[in-house]
């Protein structure tokens, strides 16, 4: 990841909070925000996020194509931390926000934030950290080792927004200071040689995140280490392990450890100062939600978070009650269709979606829920005509939003689940969907399996490596690691040095 050479500086102030208002939508090129708040505050927050995206592009020299409307990150701003934890359902006492990265449906849930505040609160820091992951996954087809992924996300998230429209990026990660001082130490070797590192279990903590941030910061700003981080990544793309690439690029790990310890004792650390003329935040369009949409927001947020069988049964009752009050609101009916689908009521989902589309044929979620319901009906019946009907719906969505990834995904799946030979155009469509949503690791794993079945080991390996490197781990990451082990060692390709 090559950084631009900039002027350096540091620190910040806090602005007063905005008063609560009504539900609004803030729509910009890369984000959609829903919040029950003052529209001025929401618009400021939207513009901050667009500035952050622009700063990531500028600093990494990786301009990314604008996502299709449905492939933007949708942010739901809830009342408080307790509501975030209720939606997350993981029992954590400290959770201040969480994200789900999915093709055509990436969503983040955070408590209320203050647009225009230069100092980051915990929820905004979480969001910037997770969006840095989203950005890096979108621009890196190979995946990143865990320390680099987390260290980079901490580095970029440690940012602030200047009143002149510029930004400070790569500030000291003060929220990691106590971790570095008092948590169980994690060495440079532990970072660069994953086999030497044992993650803590349960609710115990170590200094992994703090140390990863520190190493990333040091390698980015220390002149004598210039170019080494790029070299490390190139070596890994050529098939070297993290340890091998680290030993070649950085030299003796003990020497690097000593230098890093001295670096962290400095009274000041460098920070990127990104002038406003280097940032190109897209415009934000504001829309006040209808009374029906506002009433349906608790249902919408729970549906987007995901529901189990018991939750789905409760949510659909609430959705029906709201829809009965607002039977002429297309967005309300589309949300009802989603709740009906989640609760297993396919015919009801299709009916609600059809009513929504009769009111507004551009409602993407209505097209999606109708397609999902028809697809599941086809799976149950095994009727080829039912699969064709589902394909017709997804084709309609494709015409409405050409770069929406899900019509491509379900076009491919309709042949697989229908027990038919998959045409080449459907395989190409699945790969295109993954190009549109590279942050969806489940989709990338599906692409890898398709490529392996076709004997295309080189692209399959690249996709598996990205899934295996998931910084949050999980069963899919473990399966990808097992698949890579089964494939055996790779032949190192020649990789050109990144452009300056």
Indicate whether 314 and 221 sit together in one domain: no
More confident residue, 500 or 272: 272
Indicate whether 248 and 306 sit together in one domain: no
Indicate whether 265 and 344 sit together in one domain: no
Residue given tokens 């000593």 in the structure block: 258
What's the Cα-to-Cα distance from 300 to each of 82, 303, 339, 346, rounded to whole Å? 18, 5, 8, 18
Q: Do 50 and 29 meet the contact criterion of CB atoms below 8 Å apart?
A: yes
pLDDT of 499: 39
> What is the residue range of 150's domain?
22-271
Grade residue 5 by pLDDT with cuts at 50, 70 and 90. very low
How far apart are alpha carbons 95 and 82 in whole angstroms? 9
Summarize pLDDT for 463-500 with one digit per residue, the tens. Answer: 998 898 887 778 999 999 999 999 987 654 433 333 33
Indicate whether 34 and 121 sit together in one domain: yes
Supply the Cα-derived Rg of the chain in whole angstroms. Answer: 24
Asked whether residue 18 carries a pLDDT value surpassing 60, the answer given is no
Q: What is the mean pLDDT of residues 434-441?
A: 94
pLDDT of 113: 80
In the chain, the largest separation of any two C-alpha atoms, in whole Å, equals 70
Query: What tokens does 362 get?
Result: 């551009």
Indicate whether 45 and 128 sit together in one domain: yes
Indicate whether 123 and 164 sit together in one domain: yes
Asked whether residue 118 carries a pLDDT value surpassing 50, the answer given is yes
Asked whether residue 435 carries a pLDDT value surpassing 70, the answer given is yes
pLDDT of 492: 46
- CA proximity to 270, closest of 2, 1, 3: 3
Residue 30, in any domain of the structure:
yes
Asked whether residue 323 carries a pLDDT value surpassing 70, the answer given is yes
Q: What is the mean pLDDT of residues 136-150?
A: 85
Residue 492, in any domain of the structure:
no
- Residue 382: CATH number of its domain: 1.25.40.10
What's the Cα-to-Cα distance from 245 to each of 287, 442, 461, rounded to whole Å? 50, 28, 19
Asked whether residue 99 carries a pLDDT value surpassing 60, the answer given is yes
Q: In what order do the strands lie in the sheet with 98-100?
A: 98-100, 107-111, 73-78, 31-37, 22-27, 285-288
- Residue 259: CATH number of its domain: 1.10.390
How far apart are alpha carbons 66 and 79 in whole angstroms? 30
Q: In the listed set 271, 286, 312, which residue is the last one of a domain according to the structure?
A: 271
pTM of the model: 0.89
Grade residue 201 by pLDDT with cuts at 50, 70 and 90. confident
**Average pLDDT across the chain, whole number:** 90
pLDDT of 404: 97
Grade residue 121 by pLDDT with cuts at 50, 70 and 90. confident
Q: Do 209 and 159 meet the contact criterion of CB atoms below 8 Å apart?
A: no
How far apart are alpha carbons 464 and 483 in whole angstroms? 8
Length of the chain: 500
pLDDT of 483: 94
| Number of domains the chain contains | 2
Indicate whether 168 and 308 sit together in one domain: no
């Amino acid at each position: 990841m090559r950084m631009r050479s900039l002027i350096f500086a540091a620190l910040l102030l806090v602005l007063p909070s905005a008063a609560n208002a009504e539900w609004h939508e803030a729509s910009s090129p890369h984000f959609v925000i829903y919040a029950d708040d003052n529209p001025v505050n929401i618009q400021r927050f939207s513009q901050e996020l667009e500035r952050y995206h622009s700063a990531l592009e500028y600093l990494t020299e990786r301009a990314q194509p604008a996502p299709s409307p449905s492939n933007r990150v949708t942010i739901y701003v809830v009342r408080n931390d307790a509501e975030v934890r209720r939606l997350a359902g993981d029992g954590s006492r400290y959770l201040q926000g969480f994200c789900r990265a999915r093709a055509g449906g990436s969503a983040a849930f955070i408590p209320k934030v203050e647009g225009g505040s230069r100092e980051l609160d915990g929820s905004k820091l979480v969001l910037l950290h997770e969006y840095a992951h989203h950005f890096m996954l979108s621009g890196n087809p190979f995946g990143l080792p865990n320390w680099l992924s987390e260290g980079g996300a901490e580095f970029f998230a440690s940012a602030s927004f200047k009143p002149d429209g510029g930004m400070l990026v790569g500030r000291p990660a003060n929220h990691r200071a106590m971790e570095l001082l008092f948590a169980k130490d994690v060495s440079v070797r532990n970072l660069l040689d994953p086999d030497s590192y044992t993650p803590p279990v349960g609710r115990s903590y170590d200094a992994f995140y703090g140390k990863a941030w520190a190493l990333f910061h040091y390698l980015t700003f220390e002149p004598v280490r210039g170019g080494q981080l790029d070299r490390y990544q190139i070596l890994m793309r050529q098939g070297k392990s993290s340890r091998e690439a680290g030993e070649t690029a950085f030299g003796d790990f003990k020497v690097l450890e000593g230098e890093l310890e001295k670096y962290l004792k400095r009274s000041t650390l460098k920070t990127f100062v990104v002038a406003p003329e280097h940032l190109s935040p897209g415009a934000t369009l504001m829309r006040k939600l209808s009374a029906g949409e506002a009433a349906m927001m608790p249902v919408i947020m729970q549906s987007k978070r995901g529901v189990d069988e018991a939750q789905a049964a409760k949510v659909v009752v609430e959705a029906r009650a709201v829809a009965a009050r607002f039977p002429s609101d297309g967005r309300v009916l589309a949300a009802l269709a989603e709740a009906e689908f989640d609760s297993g009521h396919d015919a009801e989902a299709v009916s609600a979606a059809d009513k929504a589309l009769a009111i507004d044929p551009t409602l993407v979620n209505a097209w999606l829920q109708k397609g999902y319901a028809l697809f599941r009906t086809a799976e149950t019946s095994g009727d080829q005509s039912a699969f064709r009907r589902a394909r017709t719906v997804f084709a309609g969505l494709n015409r409405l939003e050409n770069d929406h990834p899900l019509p491509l995904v379900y076009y491919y799946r309709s042949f697989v689940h229908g027990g038919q030979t998959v045409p080449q155009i459907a395989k190409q469509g699945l790969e295109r969907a993954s190009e549109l949503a590279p942050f969806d690791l489940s989709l990338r794993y599906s692409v890898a399996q398709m490529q392996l079945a076709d004997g295309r080991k080189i692209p399959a390996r690249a996709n598996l490596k990205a899934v295996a490197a998931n910084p949050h781990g999980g069963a899919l990451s473990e399966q990808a690691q097992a698949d890579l082990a089964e494939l055996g060692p790779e032949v190192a390709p020649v990789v050109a040095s990144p452009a300056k």
